[in-house]
Amino acid sequence: MFRLDGKVAAVTGAGSGIGEAIAVVFGRQGALVQALDLDPAAAGRTADQIRSGGGRADARRVDVGDGADVAAAFAAIVGKHGRIDILVNNAGIAHVGTVETTTEGDFDRVFRVNVKGVFLCAQAGIRQMLEQGGGVILNMASTAAHMGIPERFAYSMSKGAVHAMTMSIASDYVKKNIRCNCISPARVHTPFVDGYLAKNYPGREKEMFKTLSEAQPIGRMGRPEEVAALALYLCSDEAAFVTGQAYPIDGGVLAT
């Protein structure tokens, strides 16, 4: 079960965190992984990790907010491998601030990556999937798309848009053999969290890590590998009857 043999899987933001975990799990399960990231060195490390485990992977630099860059990357994948069976739109950035403290520049930066990036990659992926007769798209949303989180105005806006795009794509292409779902994680322990703590709470990292962890009802942050396991199911043939859904993986956040 949950094998991806013979499938070409493109994962954006694959250089670290959740994207890296998804790419590695997909490679372990037999996919030919396309590790896409703005940082080519980080994408290369993920691809090397997959290959060292006996899997197959290519690393490609792509700026998901640049239409020409996205088109070139997807054309290169199709030119080399002939198809794209799975697209995971994971690339994203965070922002802390209210509607008052968020600048126009902040808003545009978050929108460009988290919303426009998902749009451009989904558009390129769907065009190829229509030619080949089907495929799977998985978007990374957030619990912020479903609830109010203090000082996450622009980030929540962007993830609400990801949720809405997921539902729209699923509806538009359900008769075309293209499935689209999204995952809505709560706080997951990634390098971003460590960097955020180091920047905002120097000398208090352990204390604040404990505070953030205990804010989850389950008492800890999620692990990237746990999100990757859910991603694997949703992109596998075992989930062939699942489309247009937003799956929380949140340690009980939305239930309390």
Q: Does the pTM of the predicted model rise above 0.75? A: yes
Residues 238, 239, 242: CA angle, nearest 5 degrees: 155
Domain segments of the chain as ranges: 8-186+223-255, 188-221
pLDDT for 256 beyond 90: no
Provide the token pair at 98. 């209210």
- pLDDT-derived band at 12 (thresholds 50, 70, 90) equals very high
Residue 192: per-residue pLDDT: 85
Q: Comparing C-alpha atoms, which of 68, 31, 67, 66 is closest to residue 46?
A: 31
Contact 2, 81 (CB under 8 A): no
Q: What token pair was written down for 84?
A: 């794209």
Catalytic residue flag (residue 196): no
Q: To the nearest 10°, report the CA torsion of 131, 135, 137, 138.
A: -170
CB 235 within 8 A of CB 29: no
What pLDDT sits at residue 250? 97
Confidence of residue 200 (pLDDT cuts 50, 70, 90): confident
By CB atoms closer than 10 A (0-12, 13-18, 19+), residue 106 is middle
Measured at the CA of 173, the angle between CA 246 and CA 30, to 5 degrees, comes to 70
The model's pLDDT over 111-145, given as tens digits with 9 standing for 90+, comes to: 999 999 999 999 999 999 999 999 999 999 999 99
pLDDT of residue 199: 86
d(CA 182, CA 164): 10
User: Which strand ranges, in their side-by-side order, compose the sheet holding 8-12?
Assistant: 56-61, 32-37, 8-12, 86-89, 135-140, 178-185, 246-249
Residue 214 has pLDDT above 90, yes or no: yes
pLDDT above 90 (res 10): yes
pLDDT tens-digit series, residues 140-163: 999 999 999 999 999 999 999 999
Q: How far apart are CA 192 and CA 118, in angstroms?
A: 20
State CA 133 to chain mean position distance: 23
Looking at residue 194, its pLDDT comes to 92
DSSP letters spanning 13-81: TTTSHHHHHHHHHHHHTT-EEEEEESSHHHHHHHHHHHHHTT-EEEEEE--TT-HHHHHHHHHHHHHHH
Is residue 101's pLDDT more than 90? yes
Residues 57/51, Cβ–Cβ less than 8 Å:
yes
pLDDT digits (tens, 9 = 90+) for 162-191: 999 999 999 999 999 999 999 999 999 998
Whole-number mean pLDDT of the chain? 97
| Band of residue 100 on the pLDDT scale cut at 50, 70, 90 | very high
> Which residue type does 119 have?
F
CB atoms within 10 A of CB 1: 8
Class of the CATH-defined domain 8-186+223-255: alpha beta
**Of 155, 173, 196, 247, catalytic:** 155
Angle between helices 17-28 and 224-235 (to 10 degrees): 50
How does pLDDT run across 56-89, given as a tens digit for each residue?
A: 999 999 999 999 999 999 999 999 999 999 999 9
